[in-house]
A and B are shown apart, each in its own frame.
Chain A
Amino acid sequence: MKGSFFRSMTWLHTWGGLLACWLLFVVFFGGTLSYFRYEISWWMQPESHGVVAEPDQQQAVQQVISVLQSKAPDSPLWFINLADERNPLTYYGYREAPQPGQKRGRFVDGYLFGDSQQDGINLRDTKGGDFFYRLHFDLHYMSAITARWIVGAAAMIMLVGLVTGIVIHRRIFADFFTFRNGKGARTWLDLHNISSVLALPYHLMITYTGLLTLMFLYMSAPVDKVYPGGRAQFFDDQNPTFQSVKAAGQRRSEPLPIQDFIQRFKAEKQVESVSRISINNPADENATVTVYGREAGQIAHYARSTLYNSQGDALGSSREAAFYAPEKTANTLIALHTAKFAPWPLRWLFVLGGVLGCIMVASGGVLWARRIAEKRLKANQPMGWNLRLVQAMNLATVAGLPLASLVFLYLNRLLAADFDGRREWEMHGFFICYLLVFLFALYQPGRRGWAFVWMLTGGMALALPLLNLLTTDYHLLAYLVNGQWALAGLELIVLAGGLIALWGARHCLSKPGIAHQQNARPGSYKVVTQ
């Protein structure tokens, strides 16, 4: 196209990037926040901020089982997530027996409190950090599968964008050190280059592995057509703990010896602690129990797990010892995406990569608008509605999403803790804010608009610890004194973000931008630019 490889790839990079950049920003932004998924969830349930100590696991299992036994003795499914370094609460859930006309019963969940292990304290209902996690591949207000296809298409554009970006880049090493400030589009290009090149391995990794996490949706043809027995058989063979055992219809006389199963599991799989337990038909003769180990110090993303029947015989067990090389490869690549293995210093490097990804995508979008604006200014053309739309989308997405996230956190504290729709309205608030910023940006897409949104974001961010102090029994200093680094860290990050936002607002106001020049009468722009 257009004569040369370089030019055709530049075209593809530019227009593919423009098409997907806002969605990609949402994905990068939500994905980056997902590195703090559990910390955000914890912060958003202040009723649990008194928890300090991590409970004894054996005791926690005992207590959660007795809670489930009293609440849902006839449930078809119990589910337990045990507390760990990042989750101070023991989580449990159960499915109610289906009502007439229902295929499956309602899923009910709750928490046990860390050191005291008491049940019955009501945590406020919130999606918490899971909101950002889900947002980054399930989006919102649409079916998850539709959303995953859309995000998958954006991820392919991202992958193509990265590869074309590399091939059209003629001075990768030099651009490591190149940043020309105050040069209009040139400055944005430098920022785009620096953020892309600095974290290039991260960008390639996170995009490719993101596609791999959903490869059974995106590229299922090989497994459907070639694997004997198709996809269902593949999953059964790959993970023998995925078996369903039918209920016998006879009640058990004794409770399941789950502690014994855990002991056996730890010995057989050589793990020090357990992360999850799920129990099918706990009241039935044919109950089954699946125990999942916690993988300390291991990268590959798979859970050592074993499925036991009610007598304690292993019906199936994860095959980590018999993995084929491609399985190990896929597991490791997917683990690099989720970064569940990453301890805090490494986690921060992942976060840095994610932030650079956000900057890469955002600067790409802004660069496009800036170039067109300069071109039209030079040719003395009107700026046009299409440029305004792109500018508004840039502003609404790049500055609007942090603001919307703050609205999400604010609503978490401001909506009544027992308000029925609070979980939904926290999320509606996020999207309403996004929409309002977009409408505002259509009206004011220039530097002033950016400055206003950054100022609002900065103000709300700096006031967040104050909001927490006023609406809960806890505050930043208490978190620091108690050594609750997750909670203190969240507020400190928001404070730092607020300062950056205010710096951004000041920067936007410090000189007249192209938005001012566009208001100038034709022919007089040269005077205005100086």
Chain B
Amino acid sequence: MQGIRGIFSAPATGILVRIGSATVLGYLATAECAVLIAALLPSAPLSSVLTAMLLSFPLFTALIMWSFHVPRAWRALTDLGGFYLAAALSNYLLLGALV
């Protein structure tokens, strides 16, 4: 365990992991979450879809900041990855489809 953490803590790797998490996982998590919001909102589809899209950009911003804020780089991976998986799983159960 310490070895894996060590790799992730090396400065350059750490930064790459954070950038990767912020962009790739952050975007995927945002998209899944936006789909989930659109699906869960009780309003008319036209309305809920737009609401989800309007909310997605602030959410993406927060996720990017989170992946640079967490004290260890591997946390960016686990936190955003976990968030993505949770949203994706909910979507899979709700809609039967992954984004």
Residues of chain A touching chain B, judged by Cβ–Cβ distance below 8 Å, are 1, 3, 5, 8-9, 11-12, 156, 159-160, 163-164, 208, 211-212, 215-216, 219, 221-223, 225-228, 234, 237-238, 324-327, 329-330, 333
Q: Cβ of B45 and Cβ of A1 under 8 Å apart?
A: no
List which B21-75 residues lie within 8 A (CB) of chain A: 30-32, 34-35, 37-39, 43-54, 56-58, 60-61, 64-65, 68-71, 73
Count B interface residues, CB 8 Å: 38
Contacts of B53 in A (CB 8 A): 212, 215-216, 219, 222-223, 330
The A interface, classified by DSSP as helix, strand, loop or mixed, is helix
Task: List the A residue with the shortest CB-CB distance to B98.
Answer: A225
Contacts of A11 in B (CB 8 A): 68
Q: Report the bound CA distance from A5 to B30 in whole Å.
A: 22
Contacts of B61 in A (CB 8 A): 156, 159-160, 163
What distance in Å separates the Cβ of B61 from its nearest Cβ neighbour in chain A?
5
Q: Report the bound CA distance from A237 to B31 in whole Å.
A: 23
Contacts of A215 in B (CB 8 A): 53-54, 56-57
Q: Cβ of A12 and Cβ of B68 under 8 Å apart?
A: yes
Q: Cβ of B50 and Cβ of A9 under 8 Å apart?
A: no
Q: Cβ of A237 and Cβ of B30 under 8 Å apart?
A: no
B4 at interface, CB cutoff 8 A: no
Q: Report the bound CA distance from A329 to B53 in whole Å.
A: 12
Q: Cβ of A225 and Cβ of B97 under 8 Å apart?
A: yes
What distance in Å separates the Cβ of B80 from its nearest Cβ neighbour in chain A?
14
What distance in Å separates the Cβ of B34 from its nearest Cβ neighbour in chain A?
5
Partner of A221, one of B50, B54, B70, B99: B99
Contacts of B18 in A (CB 8 A): 1
What distance in Å separates the Cβ of B14 from its nearest Cβ neighbour in chain A?
8
Contacts of B31 in A (CB 8 A): 219, 221
Partner of A228, one of B30, B35, B45, B50: B45
Task: List the B residue with the shortest CB-CB distance to A228.
Answer: B45
Q: Cβ of B38 and Cβ of A160 under 8 Å apart?
A: no
Q: Report the bound CA distance from A247 to B65 in whole Å.
A: 53
Q: Cβ of A327 and Cβ of B46 under 8 Å apart?
A: yes
Q: Report the bound CA distance from A333 to B53 in whole Å.
A: 13
Q: Cβ of A219 and Cβ of B34 under 8 Å apart?
A: yes
Contacts of B97 in A (CB 8 A): 225
Q: Report the bound CA distance from A225 to B31 in whole Å.
A: 10
Q: Report the bound CA distance from A365 to B14 in whole Å.
A: 25
Q: Report the bound CA distance from A208 to B91 in whole Å.
A: 26
Partner of A324, one of B35, B43, B57, B60: B43
Partner of A211, one of B46, B57, B64: B57
Task: List the A residue with the shortest CB-CB distance to B69.
Answer: A8
Q: Cβ of B65 and Cβ of A219 under 8 Å apart?
A: no
Knowing A1-B69, A222-B35, A222-B38, say if A227 contacts B49 (CB, 8 Å): yes
Q: Cβ of B51 and Cβ of A326 under 8 Å apart?
A: yes
B95 at interface, CB cutoff 8 A: yes
- What 3 A-B pairs come out closest when comparing CB atoms? A324-B47, A222-B38, A326-B50
Q: Report the bound CA distance from A238 to B67 in whole Å.
A: 36
Partner of A329, one of B43, B46, B54: B54
